[in-house]
């Protein structure tokens, strides 16, 4: 009998490979029938790890089979990839069990003729795990060709992306960034300071069997080191939300003050919305907007759980002029973006994005930024942020906005970088409306 976790991981990877879903939604669907929490965790570990190391696995498949992986049936390719992850990165599963399950999965997928191929390739990979056909780290970091081969194949990142990073920051920083992306991301919480302090929540979680430590940079964050806070009674009481540390720094960057009025243009799922309300001590007004009904519902759920009374929710499309007066002290535009700064947490993003995406994304980002900034009174500030690593979505969007709106001034920037800060790559810019600059 095939292990339930492996079947769920296979279904997840196949859905992602076919372009039917992103990793979070595909994984949620595949894990739904699993009742054992250990199976759910293992399915997530296999699917996520397989996507992290996909390029390395494809090189192994190509060299051991003399076939282009792109020409294999997606079912067989997905089975080989997830099995290689288990053989090479998980030591608690016997190799024989992994291979046997892979062969049975091939048969179950209606690919009985490929069962022998799957068996032979995986057994060879298991035997030769200490001498895999992967590029080694270049002796000369300035050797661009060797560096890109290593970064894109052995460290499993899209060639076009590591070429950009290599040309921008050099080999050492790019390699550190890629290694960061290939490490499992810790579960990070933001304490809801409307309901208590970081110290009090840490103590309460410890009593519930969850070990945490304070984040290094964010003022109200906790990193989970052991245990699952989402399985404790505290999870349903609004004491915390799951929010990456870099994302928390963007919320802090807004510098929301008690009594202010703030417009949050792309607010769902509501982490930064409720963070700003807490920073304001729930004194003032946060108008939180999103465009899709399902995301508005998710936003409303997050706000309700937080207990914030200063938040008002509206459904609005910030890509279009907004029907509100210019009365706000601050506007947050946490813009839809490529998500390339969050590859560690969402490894499928590295394979779903392409350089051609930037033009259309930047057009949307410029439109939202311009429409949202129109809601500021004189002296108000707009904070533009993304979870992208790429300048087309960050500095270039800000520069285009400033050129079109000369009465705005760039006053501060925020940048988090994996190789420098040990955090996902986020960007923020604070722009102040100064009519006298016209």
Give the residue numbers annotated as catalytic, written as ranges.
387
CA 9 to chain centre: 19
CA count, 13 A, side-chain hemisphere, 63: 15
CA count, 13 A, side-chain hemisphere, 152: 16
How far apart CA 72 and CA 109 sit, in angstroms, is: 14
How far apart CA 153 and CA 229 sit, in angstroms, is: 36
Give the DSSP letter of residue 96. Answer: H
Beta bridge partners of 222: 189, 214
Backbone angles phi, psi at 86, to 5 degrees: -65, -40
CA distances from 295 to 200, 266, 292, 315 (A): 31, 10, 5, 9
Contact 10, 4 (CB under 8 A): no
Token duo for residue 289: 């907007």
Which of 128, 115, 88, 105 has the alpha carbon at shortest distance from 13?
Answer: 105
How far apart CA 304 and CA 425 sit, in angstroms, is: 29
Contact 102, 67 (CB under 8 A): no
Question: Omega of the bond prior to 269 within 30 degrees of 0, cis?
Answer: yes
Q: Is the dihedral of CA 301, 303, 308, 314 positive or negative?
A: negative
Contact 365, 397 (CB under 8 A): yes
Token duo for residue 342: 């969050």
Number of neighbouring beta carbons within 10 Å of residue 98: 21
How far apart CA 357 and CA 378 sit, in angstroms, is: 35
Contact 268, 299 (CB under 8 A): yes
């Amino acid at each position: 009998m095939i292990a339930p976790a492996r079947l769920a991981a296979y279904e997840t990877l196949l859905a992602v490979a076919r372009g039917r879903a992103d990793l979070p939604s595909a994984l949620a669907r595949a894990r739904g029938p699993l009742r054992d929490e250990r199976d759910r965790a293992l399915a997530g570990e296999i699917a996520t790890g397989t996507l992290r190391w996909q390029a390395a696995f494809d090189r192994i498949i190509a060299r051991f089979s003399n076939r282009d992986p792109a020409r294999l049936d997606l079912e067989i390719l997905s089975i080989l990839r997830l099995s290689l992850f288990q053989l090479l990165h998980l030591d608690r599963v016997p190799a024989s069990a992994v291979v046997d399950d892979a062969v049975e999965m091939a048969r179950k997928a209606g690919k009985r003729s490929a069962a022998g191929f799957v068996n032979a390739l995986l057994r060879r990979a298991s035997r030769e795990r200490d001498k895999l056909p992967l590029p080694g780290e270049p002796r000369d970091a300035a050797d661009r060709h060797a560096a890109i081969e290593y970064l894109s194949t052995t460290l499993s990142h899209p060639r076009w992306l590591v070429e950009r990073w290599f040309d921008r920051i050099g080999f050492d920083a790019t390699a550190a960034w890629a290694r960061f992306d290939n490490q499992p991301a810790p579960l990070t919480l933001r304490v809801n300071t409307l309901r208590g302090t970081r110290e009090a929540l840490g103590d309460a979680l410890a009593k519930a069997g969850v070990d945490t430590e304070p984040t290094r940079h964010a003022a109200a964050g906790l990193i989970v080191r052991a245990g699952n806070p989402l399985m404790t009674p505290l999870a349903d009481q609004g004491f915390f939300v799951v929010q990456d540390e870099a994302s928390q720094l963007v919320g802090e960057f807004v510098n929301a003050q008690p009594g202010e009025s703030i417009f949050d243009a792309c607010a769902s799922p509501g982490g930064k919305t409720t963070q700003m309300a807490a920073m304001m001590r729930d004194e003032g007004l946060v108008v939180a907007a999103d465009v899709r009904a399902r995301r508005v519902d998710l936003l409303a759920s997050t706000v309700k759980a937080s207990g914030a009374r200063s938040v008002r929710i509206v459904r609005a499309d910030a890509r279009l002029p907004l029907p509100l007066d210019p009365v706000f002290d601050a506007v947050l535009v946490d813009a839809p973006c490529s998500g390339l700064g969050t590859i560690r947490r969402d490894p499928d993003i590295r394979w779903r994005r392409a350089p051609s995406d930037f033009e259309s994304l930047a057009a949307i980002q410029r439109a939202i930024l311009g429409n949202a900034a129109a809601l500021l009174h004189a002296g108000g500030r707009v904070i533009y942020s993304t979870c992208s690593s790429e300048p087309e979505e960050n500095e270039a969007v800000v520069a285009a906005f400033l050129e079109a709106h000369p009465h705005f001034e760039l006053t501060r920037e925020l940048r988090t970088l994996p190789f420098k800060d040990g955090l996902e790559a986020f960007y923020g810019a604070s722009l102040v409306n100064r009519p006298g600059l016209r």
